[in-house]
């Protein structure tokens, strides 16, 4: 009798720790949560570091005993960073520079992807190959001919330098969005379009009434990825946008020089730049993207799952 009880106890303990078929045990759950916490910490550590140090004054930065939690909430770093970045006017410029090309890029990529998915024409494979090549070739390789072209047609130092490539399917990483829409539209049953054609619908009506609603996930993911890429782009922006338009990342690149002009140090107790002020400026540049992500998190995750994107 005791042996039977011991056997049952062992089975229950084994079931509790290692689980059964279709059910995870305690050990599996613990390991899973530890792994998720570890991965999450790797991603959150830079943000937590910036947040902590951005609220430190010079005394806390120099005090080796102060590590993560400042001795007081010091907001002067943010006040200075806002002034150096000229935050609010530059924020609206950044949104203007990023949102319009992102919307155009997502829409044009859907049209090109639909054409590749639904139409057969001479040279289709060659054109599709060229689309893939545009994704493989880094933009630095084509920057000189693009600059000469844009200069000849007088669109440098304006948003048109971003809009024109987006209209022709050559925006930032447009190829990956064309491939996304190509896969989405190819998965739509032909019977739906054939039924619409029997009802007298043309290609444009079929595209806008059937294809576009069914590709909502592709539009969301294309727009959000485009927004992030245009936002973080500094190399092309510094060349094409010139001095008339600027973005927060561009302002952040010259943060130290701008700070030195606005707040020249005066002796040992001056206002020379320190790590806390720099991290406050970095965090201010990142916050708008974080807000956009938290607002669109549910749609973003669902869209990534439906389109099959696993990361860059």
Looking at residue 312, its pLDDT comes to 41
- What pLDDT sits at residue 10? 60
Report, as an integer, the average pLDDT of 135-156. 88
> Which one, of 184, 169, 255, 252, lies nearest residue 219 by Cα?
184
Report whether pLDDT(97) > 80.
Answer: yes
Q: What is the mean pLDDT of the chain?
A: 83
pLDDT the model gives residue 90:
93
Task: Lowest mean pLDDT of 19-28, 108-117, 273-282, name the range.
Answer: 19-28
pLDDT at residue 18, rounded to an integer: 58
Q: What percent of the chain has pLDDT over 70?
A: 85
Residue 271 pLDDT class (50, 70, 90 cuts): low
Q: Which of 280, 249, 270 is nearest to 80 (CA)?
A: 280
Q: Confidence band (pLDDT; 50, 70, 90) for 15?
A: low
**Statement: residue 72 has pLDDT above 60:** yes
pLDDT at residue 164, as a whole number:
92
């Amino acid at each position: 009798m005791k042996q039977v009880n011991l056997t049952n106890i062992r089975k229950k303990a084994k079931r509790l720790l290692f689980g059964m078929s279709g059910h995870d045990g305690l050990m599996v759950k613990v390991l899973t949560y530890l792994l998720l916490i570890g991965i999450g910490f790797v991603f959150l550590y830079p943000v937590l570091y910036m947040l902590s140090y951005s609220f430190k004054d010079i005394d806390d930065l120099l005090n080796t005993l102060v590590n993560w939690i400042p001795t007081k909430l010091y907001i002067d770093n943010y006040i200075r960073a806002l002034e150096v970045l000229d935050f609010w006017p530059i924020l609206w410029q950044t949104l203007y520079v990023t949102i319009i090309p992102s919307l155009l890029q997502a829409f044009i990529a859907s049209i090109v992807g639909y054409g590749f998915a639904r139409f057969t024409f001479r040279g289709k494979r060659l054109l599709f190959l060229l689309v893939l090549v545009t994704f493989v070739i880094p933009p630095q390789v084509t920057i000189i001919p693009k600059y000469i072209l844009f200069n000849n047609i007088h669109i440098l130092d304006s948003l048109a330098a971003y809009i024109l490539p987006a209209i022709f399917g050559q925006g930032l990483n447009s190829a990956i969005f064309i491939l996304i829409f190509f896969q989405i539209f190819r998965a739509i049953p032909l019977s739906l379009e054939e039924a619409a054609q029997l009802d007298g619908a043309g290609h444009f009506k079929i595209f806008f009434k059937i294809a576009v609603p069914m590709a909502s996930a592709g539009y969301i993911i294309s727009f959000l990825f485009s927004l992030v890429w245009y936002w973080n782009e500094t190399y092309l922006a510094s060349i094409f946008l010139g001095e008339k338009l600027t973005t927060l990342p561009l302002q952040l690149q010259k943060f130290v020089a701008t700070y030195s002009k606005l707040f020249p140090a005066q002796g040992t107790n001056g206002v020379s730049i320190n790590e806390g002020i720099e991290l406050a400026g970095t965090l201010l540049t990142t916050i708008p993207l974080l807000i956009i992500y938290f607002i669109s998190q549910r749609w973003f995750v669902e869209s990534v799952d439906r389109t099959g994107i696993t990361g860059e």
